[in-house]
Amino acid sequence: MSLSAEAIATLSHVSTATITTVLLKKGLRNIWMRGTKPLKPGQKRLVGPAFTLRFVPAREDLATPESWSSPISTRTAIEAMPAGCIAVVDAMGITDAGIFGDILCARMVKRGVTALITDGVVRDVEGVLGTGLPVWCDGYAAPPSVAGLTFVGWGEPIGCGGVAVFPNDVVVADQDGAVLIPQAFLDHVLAEGPEQERMEAWIVNEVNNGAQLPGLYPMNAETKARYAATKK
C-alpha cells in the first residue's frame, strides 16, 4: 500500500494522542507501541506504511556475526525497504542488544526510509544520530543484535511493543511515541482526526479564557452548539 501525499500531510497534523482517542471510539485500545520513545528530542511527527522486521531470542548456532552475511539478514532486509516506509522492528523488548547501528541506519537513509521504530534499542548511538535517521526506540546498548537476538525475517505480521503490526499498516510517530492505524481504519482517522484536533484546540482556548471543565470537556449540548456555531 502506498500512502498518498495528501494522507501523509493530513496525518502529519494529527497527534498520536488524538489518533488513540479516535480509534478508542471505534473499539481499538491497543495501538500504541510500548517502548517507542524518540531517540532525539524534538523529532517531528512522521507518517508512513509499516515495513516489518522480526527478531526471536538468540540461539547460539544462528545468532553469530557470520549470520550477517546470510540471505536472511538485516542487511538484506534493508535492501528491500521501499522509499517512504517506516521500518517497524519486533525486538521483543530486549534492551541489552542493539538491533541496528550507524552503518545500517546510514543505508536506510540512502534508501529513503522515513524512520525506524522498535521496542528494542540501537547501538552506536552517536553515529545513528549523525545519520539523521529519525528513530523511536527504548534506548541504546553497546552489544550487537546477535548478543541477544536472532533475526528471522521481514514482510510478515509482527508484534512491536505489544501491538500487532501487519505490513503496510500506517504508522504515525511523534513525541508521545508510535501508534498504528490499521488499513481498514485509515479513512476514518483521516476524516475524524483533523476534526478532533480542531475541537480540542477550541476547548483549550475556552480553558485559557477561564471556562470550567464540567460541560466543556466532554461537551454538553449547550457547548456543542457553541462549538458548532464557530464552524459556520
**Closest residue by Cα to residue 147 from 62, 87, 74:** 62
Q: Note the pLDDT of residue 8.
A: 97
Residues 123/144, Cβ–Cβ less than 8 Å: yes
Q: Are 154 and 207 within one domain?
A: no
The answer on pLDDT for 195 being more than 60 is: yes
Q: Note the pLDDT of residue 231.
A: 85
Bridge pairing between strands 177-181 and 32-33 = antiparallel
Q: Are 201 and 139 within one domain?
A: no
Q: Are 57 and 137 within one domain?
A: yes
The answer on pLDDT for 1 being more than 60 is: no
Q: Note the pLDDT of residue 66.
A: 80
Other residues' Cβ atoms within 10 Å of the Cβ of residue 123: 20
- The answer to whether the annotation marks 104 as part of a ligand binding site is yes
Q: Are 111 and 142 within one domain?
A: yes
How many structural domains is the chain composed of?
2
Mean pLDDT of 163-181: 98
The answer on pLDDT for 177 being more than 60 is: yes
* pTM of the entire predicted model: 0.94
Q: What is the pLDDT of residues 92-115, one digit of tens each?
A: 999 999 999 999 999 999 999 999
Q: What is the pLDDT of residues 14-53, one digit of tens each?
A: 999 999 999 999 999 999 999 999 999 999 999 999 999 9
Other residues' Cβ atoms within 10 Å of the Cβ of residue 43: 15
Mean pLDDT of 186-214: 97
Q: Band of the pLDDT at 63, cuts 50, 70, 90? A: low
Q: Are 168 and 199 within one domain?
A: no
Q: Band of the pLDDT at 137, cuts 50, 70, 90? A: very high
Mean pLDDT of 209-232: 94
State what percent of residues in the chain have pLDDT above 70.
99
State what percent of residues in the chain have pLDDT above 90.
92
C-alpha count within 13 angstroms, C-beta hemisphere, residue 99: 33
Q: Are 112 and 195 within one domain?
A: no
- The answer to whether the annotation marks 102 as part of a ligand binding site is yes
- 59 phi and psi angles, rounded to 5 deg: -125, 125
Residues 128/74, Cβ–Cβ less than 8 Å: no
Mean pLDDT of 187-210: 97
Domain that holds residue 81: 3-182
The C-alpha angle with vertex 10 and arms to 108 and 129, in degrees rounded to 5, equals 30
Mean pLDDT of 190-217: 97
Q: Are 105 and 145 within one domain?
A: yes
Q: Are 126 and 200 within one domain?
A: no
- The mean of the pLDDT values for the chain is 96
CATH number, position 51? 3.50.30.40
Task: Quote the radius of gyration of the chain (alpha carbons, Å).
Answer: 20
Q: Are 147 and 223 within one domain?
A: no
Mean pLDDT of 186-194: 97
Q: Are 197 and 167 within one domain?
A: no
Residues 170/70, Cβ–Cβ less than 8 Å: no
Q: Are 198 and 115 within one domain?
A: no
Q: Note the pLDDT of residue 190.
A: 98
Q: What is the pLDDT of residues 113-133, one digit of tens each?
A: 999 999 999 999 999 999 999
The answer on pLDDT for 67 being more than 80 is: no
Q: Are 83 and 110 within one domain?
A: yes
SS3 letters across the chain: CCCCHHHHHHHCCCCHHHHHHHHHCCCCCCCEECCCEECCCCCCCEEEEEEEEEEEECCCCCCCHHHHHCCCCHHHHHHCCCCCCEEEEECCCCCCCECCCHHHHHHHHHCCCCEEEECCEECCHHHHHHHCCCEEECCECCCEHHHCEEEEEECCCEEECCEEECCCCEEEEECCEEEEECHHHHHHHHHHHHHHHHHHHHHHHHHHCCCCCCCECCECHHHHHHHHHHCC
The answer on pLDDT for 139 being more than 90 is: yes
